Structure 1
Amino acid sequence: MRRGEQRTATGAGRRLRTPLLALLAAALLLGGIVVVPEPAEAAPRQSVSVDATVGNDRLVTVRVTCGAKSCRGKVTLRLSTGAKKTLSYRAAKRATKTLNWKLSVSSYRKFVSRGSAKLTVSGKAVKPRKTSFTRTATVKPAKAQLSLRQQSATIGEDRTVPLAMRCGASAGCTARVELRSSGSAIASAAVKTAKRGDVTVRLTVPAAQVPRLGDRAVHQLVIVESRPDAVRQVAALTLTKATPEPEPVPERTASVAYAQRNWTPTSYDTCPASLHEQYRTVGPDGKYYPTWHPAQVTDPATGELCTFGHEHGADPTESDIYQWVADFFSPSDLVEGEPQGLPFGYASEELDNHIAAGHSHLSMRHEDNGGHKVFLRNDVALVGDGHRNVTFENADGERERVVCDFLIKAHQGSWSPDATANNAHELIYAVRCNDGTELISTTLSRYGDPNEFNRSCASGTVVQTRFSQLPPATTAGGGRLIPDRGCAQAAVTAGSDIWSIYEVWMSANELTTADGAVVAAFDPWFGIRNPSRYYDSRTSTETSNGIGRPVDLLWEEGTAARAASVYPWSTVAGLERFDYRDPRSPFDGAQRDFYLGQNRVTGLPGSPGFYTDPYGGGARAEASQGAIRQWAVAGAVSADLSLERLQFDLNADWGKNNGVHAPN
């Protein structure tokens, strides 16, 4: 009989009376074990029922119901295994007093080991009149009614574990099922059935716990029943992790940068083109693009180091904001296992689409693979005009310095005549600051106007060139300082030095709306200390601008003697003449530095994500053909900053002892 129910000695639920004592009612249950008492005597106006449900909770419950004005007395319970308990009671009229006897652990174990015990119930009523009684019954340990019908289960992709269980009690089962691993509970579920039969219980494993559950590992399943009896059992359960069906990889097409402008080896390189093609990423448009790779890697076909002959600057994965940026560039249908990274040539790809969408007055613009260079700097404390710290008020009301992480990819080719005329070069610019500033931008950045550049050794002098069809700059402040032959010659003459051929590419960028409102403005500069070309009008033709090679000054009449004693020509002085592409040349375009300048972000009202044309204009919330997605969030002070220009990587050499050479 279940706890809380009252039965008379006849088992029919009616009250029997005697002159002296209350009826001892009851089914005496020990964990589902029914106790059948002997016939009871007639009772005064009170009754006693004993619920001897001795399950894992070790409880025997006594209830006294008073039918008189008030009742008082004692009930003594004694098991033949040695346990004994006397309980006193007081109860008001029509009230029931509940008394619990909890067996000691040793008494309960002794009782369970015997398998049964004789229970003697004796009572002494003092009020409303003195009476006494004695009853006996045989009790047995409770049995579990809820059983697990399997020894193993699979954790589904939704992290649920389905368990087949069966309730053996005709009146149903109530329990709690708990999955434990290494002694700790990781999932649980309640079970409640109204009748005997099968039931499926589903446990949901928290996502953080799934990695802790080894595949095909054995765990504990604890089943704690509360109805019909308090019974606790432990079962072994082997868990298997579901092997999800791999998502089908979408069919990807190749961008122009990947299919047509990718790298091909020269006679100085030892890596195959097929290995270079493995360094790719999926761009926002779902196409494959080249991306960053080391200058030399181990060729899996040979197990030996091989060289690509070019480098892409800093490893972007060392940036604190790399994953944030890589996620931004990933398409919505990217599946697990597909590559992420910085897509080289994405702005040029969208320019083609922009032209096809009705902007035929613009010219296409695709750049070589080797010119894509990565620059990064973590934890940059911004410095304002006058060398003052830039601060903001943080959430605690304290002044805190503005610190930012920068990840930049610029195309900066320094080996061909391209930059002497073309002013637009792809730029990825990403920054995130502790004042809340966020910016990710991809554009064709215009470094001054096309068909001209300023001399690196005389920045006020403009040199006119030809053949570019790219649009002029719309933002002041940009330009390209490139050496011409006069600068190269000056580098090896008395009183001059290598800085005469130092290139500086000064970008000046704005993301603007159609009516000219500025969403973001930024202007990083990029320097090259050892370019492998200078402009030489003497070699210009009807179709291209002429260039010369700085390394050749070492063997030219009029410059050879002086060049042999000037760094870096002096490092190869005395060698027989070699080609400018030879890795021995100190002019490989790999000694680069960069400058951080202004970083103003206002954002587009109502949307941190928005779209511009490939040159950064026409910012709007809606996407369109040829538009590039940008991201801008204004921080606490970023929209009003006026910053000092900071220089980084002044001693960096990305082509040292790794096979890098021009063209790079």
Structure 2
Amino acid sequence: MTLVIVSATVVAADQAEAATPQSVAVESTIGTDRVVTLTVTCNASSSCAGSLTLKLSTGGTKTLSYSIAKRASKTLNWTLTQKDYTNFTTKRTAILTASGKTTKPSKTTLSKTATLKVASAKLALSTKTYAVGTGRSVPLAVQCSSSSGCAAKVDLRLAGNTVTKATVKAAKGKATVKLTLPAASYNKLTTAGAKYTVVISESKPDAISHSTSVTLRKTKPVSTPTPTPTATPKPTATPTATPTATPRALSKAYTQRNWTPTAYDTCSAELHASYRVLGPDGKYYPTWHPATATDPTTGLTCTFGHEHGADPANSDIAEWVAERYAPADLMRGEPTGLPFGYVSEVLDSYIQDGEHDHSTMSMRHEDNGGHKVFVANNVKMLDADNDWLKLADGTQLECDYLIKQHQGSHSPDATSNNAHETLFASRCNDGTEIITTMFSRFGNPNEIFSTCATNTAIATVGSTLPEGDGGRRIIPTLDCVEENPTDWSLYELWEGASKVETTDGQVLASFDPWYGVRNPSRMYDAMASTSTTNAVSRPLALAWLATGAATDYFWAGLSAFDPFDYQDPRSPFDGAQRDFYLGDLKLTSPGATDVVYSDPYGGGANSTETTGSIKQLIKPGSVLGTVSLARQKFDSKADYGKNNGVHAPN
């Protein structure tokens, strides 16, 4: 990294005062974190204080205040908006003007300029072909070109899915990043090789993300020569044709409900469509992807404007779950993972089943952005009395969870509809295993509860979905938030109550996670609703009121004199601050195979697969089964929309 050191020109506010010995150093590059960095140094024998107003020639302005101890330095950071950063990267360079006033040790003015440029990658692959042996090790050879060293996260991906990852800290020169392929990935590898993508997300010297294609091939086994056989040679067999993969079908979630960019987004629909996996039915579905990616046409970071929560690759059971959702005829190299919208596809088949009459059921399709992933590893389990649960040998009972829940928090949909797609998976060290997917129902349709009156149901309209089995949807209401514009009145909480049960009502599995949204972009608006429609208002709009009633930290810094649209990435209400609560998990053995087939709502479970049925894995362990569990909260400070272009609708 090159630093441009600028000695600030000082103009005395009073000729009798001595000039203030302060200087400013400007970092000459801006990375994908969009941060402009300055260092102010106080060379005086007493402390320094003041403020700097920064302006970028390509757009953007910011005022930063500082207070520095004598003969010390302080770093000031300015994070550009996504729009200003995009304008900057388009031009590649910009002039930064810093002007300000000092208040200590004397009052003076400062004025200087510096040229900034887009940060360039400092860590690169020096070898792009690797032979992988039985140890499954991939020693990536990299080269660091920064004199101050490099630090980065390295992801090895196949078809957009993370296969394995590692971190690297390297001094200038050559280094090695040690990756290990999962067993399943290694088993699919051939001696002919396959193309993978290495994504390097640098944090030092600058935040910059880039990708490179590499070839991995399995090492050819070394064979010992054998004597030439003396037996009579057999007739040469006629060679059979090499099987070819059948073209895969596309799901409705992929073709009809996939994401398209808004005016605030810089990634293309085609790039988004490249993140896909095969579902159990052999169709392609959208899946998890990061909120930003490298646009292959420009090499620059682009934004999707929405996020899908935690990276499922961080789950200890990700590979196990992916294998369960892969089609039976999976070919080598085909992508697997979490299929978004699979239950909707099955429900369509279930309704249209010619052998049984399900015509009274309603189809249900949900938007792409609402699919959210939750990960919890090594959860120490507590019973309802908050006592630790242990195995027979005294070992602490621990479980891993990987959950995908559709939870949109921007539209009127959830004000009426109670059924939302769930994928719930858990594996524990007592032998418990569960992988289910269904439409979970959060309370009843056409009924919500307000954050100001959590026990009083509010009647809504528009849904034809089935009744629930418990739970509820607590959604902020305009009257509540207007009266109490705080984070608690805006907190949206969905309380689940899901189960897999047989036709005769035997419950094979039940679980009741809760999902919270701390900054939804909607409030139910009873006054604007009609007898046939539900209306929503925007929390952001409260900031534009002349009364300035909304002063909680969510609204802090928003000015009625500078309004913008609720979909703007500047809005603090993007639905990306989410937490979740794990509660009960009760299982009963369904039989010898631990597998049943249910309808899309988890009902009618039996051992026979039929049109429109979903495969559910249910295996009780030695401890978990009917014991009640304590409710535990996770991700209380998670924010998946921080400085990455995420905005409503999300």
Q: For the structure 1 residues 575 and 254, does the alpha-carbon distance in structure 2 shift closer, same or farther, using more than 3 Å as the test?
A: farther
Aligned residue runs from structure 1 range 558-637, under 5 A: 558=547, 561-563=548-550, 565-573=551-559, 576-637=562-623
Q: Does the 8 Å contact 1:442/1:630 carry over to 2?
A: yes
Aligned residue runs from structure 1 range 299-318, under 5 A: 299-318=295-314
Mapped to 1, the partners of 2:263 and 2:544 lie a distance apart of 23
Report the counterpart of residue 284 of structure 1 in structure 2.
Answer: 280
Mapped to 1, the partners of 2:329 and 2:242 lie a distance apart of 14
Cα deviation for residue 217 of structure 1 reads 9.5
Specify every segment of 5 or more residues in structure 1 that has no aligned partner in the other structure, as ranges.
Answer: 1-206, 225-243
Q: For the structure 1 residues 566 and 343, does the alpha-carbon distance in structure 2 shift closer, same or farther, using more than 3 Å as the test?
A: same
Q: For the structure 1 residues 272 and 208, does the alpha-carbon distance in structure 2 shift closer, same or farther, using more than 3 Å as the test?
A: closer
Q: For the structure 1 residues 567 and 626, does the alpha-carbon distance in structure 2 shift closer, same or farther, using more than 3 Å as the test?
A: same
Q: For the structure 1 residues 582 and 392, does the alpha-carbon distance in structure 2 shift closer, same or farther, using more than 3 Å as the test?
A: same
Q: Does the 8 Å contact 1:572/1:584 carry over to 2?
A: no
Look up the equivalent residue of 1:597 and give its one-letter code: G
Look up the equivalent residue of 1:436 and give its one-letter code: G
Deviations 1:608-663 (A, max 9, x none): 12100000011111100000110011100211221110000000000000000000
Q: Does the 8 Å contact 1:510/1:616 carry over to 2?
A: yes
Cα deviation for residue 329 of structure 1 reads 0.4
Mapped to 1, the partners of 2:222 and 2:481 lie a distance apart of 74
Mapped to 2, the partners of 1:220 and 1:618 lie a distance apart of 57
Mapped to 2, the partners of 1:413 and 1:385 lie a distance apart of 30
Mapped to 2, the partners of 1:372 and 1:408 lie a distance apart of 10
Report the counterpart of residue 545 of structure 1 in structure 2.
Answer: 534
Secondary structure of residue in 1 paired with 2:415: helix
Mapped to 1, the partners of 2:447 and 2:491 lie a distance apart of 17
- 2:328 pairs, out of 329, 332, 343, with 332
Report the counterpart of residue 638 of structure 2 in structure 1.
Answer: 652
Secondary structure of residue in 2 paired with 1:459: strand
Q: For the structure 1 residues 341 and 571, does the alpha-carbon distance in structure 2 shift closer, same or farther, using more than 3 Å as the test?
A: farther
Q: For the structure 1 residues 314 and 246, does the alpha-carbon distance in structure 2 shift closer, same or farther, using more than 3 Å as the test?
A: farther
Deviations 1:561-597 (A, max 9, x none): 122x321100433661100000000000000000000
Secondary structure of residue in 2 paired with 1:392: coil
Cα deviation for residue 246 of structure 1 reads 7.2
Aligned residue runs from structure 1 range 198-597, under 5 A: 221=225, 248-357=244-353, 358-393=357-392, 398-473=393-468, 475-476=469-470, 478-492=471-485, 497-541=486-530, 543-558=532-547, 561-563=548-550, 565-573=551-559, 576-597=562-583
Cα deviation for residue 251 of structure 1 reads 1.7
Aligned residue runs from structure 1 range 114-153, under 5 A: none
Mapped to 2, the partners of 1:284 and 1:217 lie a distance apart of 33
Q: Does the 8 Å contact 1:603/1:632 carry over to 2?
A: yes
Secondary structure of residue in 1 paired with 2:350: helix
Mapped to 2, the partners of 1:354 and 1:643 lie a distance apart of 34
Q: For the structure 1 residues 580 and 209, does the alpha-carbon distance in structure 2 shift closer, same or farther, using more than 3 Å as the test?
A: closer
Number of residue pairs aligned between Structure 1 and Structure 2: 427
Secondary structure of residue in 1 paired with 2:391: strand
Aligned residue runs from structure 1 range 138-217, under 5 A: none
Q: Does the 8 Å contact 1:457/1:501 carry over to 2?
A: no
Mapped to 1, the partners of 2:416 and 2:217 lie a distance apart of 62
Specify every segment of 5 or more residues in structure 2 that has no aligned partner in the other structure, as ranges.
Answer: 1-186, 192-215, 229-239
Mapped to 2, the partners of 1:319 and 1:412 lie a distance apart of 20
Q: Does the 8 Å contact 1:502/1:528 carry over to 2?
A: yes
Cα deviation for residue 256 of structure 1 reads 1.2
Secondary structure of residue in 2 paired with 1:488: helix
Q: Pick which of 244-253 and 480-489 moved more.
A: 244-253
Q: For the structure 1 residues 245 and 592, does the alpha-carbon distance in structure 2 shift closer, same or farther, using more than 3 Å as the test?
A: farther
Report the counterpart of residue 111 of structure 1 in structure 2.
Answer: none
Secondary structure of residue in 2 paired with 1:638: coil
Report the counterpart of residue 112 of structure 1 in structure 2.
Answer: none
Q: For the structure 1 residues 573 and 621, does the alpha-carbon distance in structure 2 shift closer, same or farther, using more than 3 Å as the test?
A: same
Mapped to 2, the partners of 1:631 and 1:541 lie a distance apart of 43
Look up the equivalent residue of 2:549 and give its one-letter code: R
The share of aligned pairs that are identical, in percent, is 52
Q: Does the 8 Å contact 2:496/2:514 carry over to 1?
A: yes
Mapped to 2, the partners of 1:460 and 1:217 lie a distance apart of 67
TM-score, structure 1 as length reference: 0.62
Q: Pick which of 599-608 and 614-623 moved more.
A: 599-608
Cα deviation for residue 457 of structure 1 reads 2.4
Mapped to 2, the partners of 1:416 and 1:218 lie a distance apart of 61
Cα deviation for residue 245 of structure 1 reads 8.8
Mapped to 2, the partners of 1:354 and 1:327 lie a distance apart of 24
Q: Does the 8 Å contact 2:461/2:531 carry over to 1?
A: no
TM-score, structure 2 as length reference: 0.63
Q: For the structure 1 residues 470 and 221, does the alpha-carbon distance in structure 2 shift closer, same or farther, using more than 3 Å as the test?
A: same
Deviations 1:237-256 (A, max 9, x none): xxxxxxx9975222211111
Look up the equivalent residue of 1:470 and give its one-letter code: L
Cα deviation for residue 216 of structure 1 reads 8.0
Whichever of the two has the greater Rg, that structure is 1
Q: For the structure 1 residues 446 and 215, does the alpha-carbon distance in structure 2 shift closer, same or farther, using more than 3 Å as the test?
A: closer
Q: For the structure 1 residues 582 and 620, does the alpha-carbon distance in structure 2 shift closer, same or farther, using more than 3 Å as the test?
A: same
Report the counterpart of residue 54 of structure 2 in structure 1.
Answer: none
Look up the equivalent residue of 2:564 and give its one-letter code: F
Secondary structure of residue in 1 paired with 2:581: strand
Deviations 1:177-232 (A, max 9, x none): xxxxxxxxxxxxxxxxxxxxxxxxxxxxxx999989986898775879xxxxxxxx
Report the counterpart of residue 199 of structure 1 in structure 2.
Answer: none
Q: Does the 8 Å contact 2:289/2:307 carry over to 1?
A: yes
Q: Does the 8 Å contact 2:277/2:339 carry over to 1?
A: yes
After superposition, the CA RMSD in angstroms is 2.4
Secondary structure of residue in 2 paired with 1:317: helix
Q: For the structure 1 residues 645 and 542, does the alpha-carbon distance in structure 2 shift closer, same or farther, using more than 3 Å as the test?
A: same
Cα deviation for residue 305 of structure 1 reads 0.4
Cα deviation for residue 292 of structure 1 reads 0.3
Q: For the structure 1 residues 329 and 208, does the alpha-carbon distance in structure 2 shift closer, same or farther, using more than 3 Å as the test?
A: closer
Q: Does the 8 Å contact 2:407/2:420 carry over to 1?
A: yes
